[in-house]
Amino acid sequence: MTGRKRPPITNRVRELRERHGQMSQAALGDAIGVTRQTVVAIEKGHYSPSLESAFRIARLFGVGVEDVFGWDEPPA
């Protein structure tokens, strides 16, 4: 184990993208105004999107932000 912790933000971006007619990462990036690389990083949990991007993703898929993103509060 590397000691590198995953951020407490979880997401269903890949699942929703694939359900949305097999939308590519590049197409999602274009739709929300970010690069494909940013979409990859979001899906892998390496990057948490801006609030604006989170709302754009949710709106694109017709769901609420809380249906796309979750927060696993780390133990105290």
Q: Who contacts 64 (Cβ-Cβ below 8 Å, separation ≥6)?
A: 58
Residues of the chain with pLDDT under 50: 1
Q: Report percent pLDDT > 70 for the chain.
A: 87
Q: Does the residue 3 lie in any domain?
A: no
Say what the pLDDT of residue 63 is: 98
- The reply to whether 74 falls in a domain is no
The answer to whether position 71 is within a domain reads: no
Q: Is 5 left (phi over 0), alpha (psi -120 to 50) or beta?
A: beta
What would the pLDDT profile of 43-52 be if each residue is shown by its tens digit?
Answer: 999 999 999 9
What is the CATH number for 29? Answer: 1.10.260.40
- For residue 23, give its domain range: 9-62
42 located within any domain: yes
Number of domains in the chain: 1
Q: Is residue 70 included in any domain, yes or no?
A: no
Phi-psi region of 33 (alpha: psi -120 to 50; beta: other; left: phi over 0): left
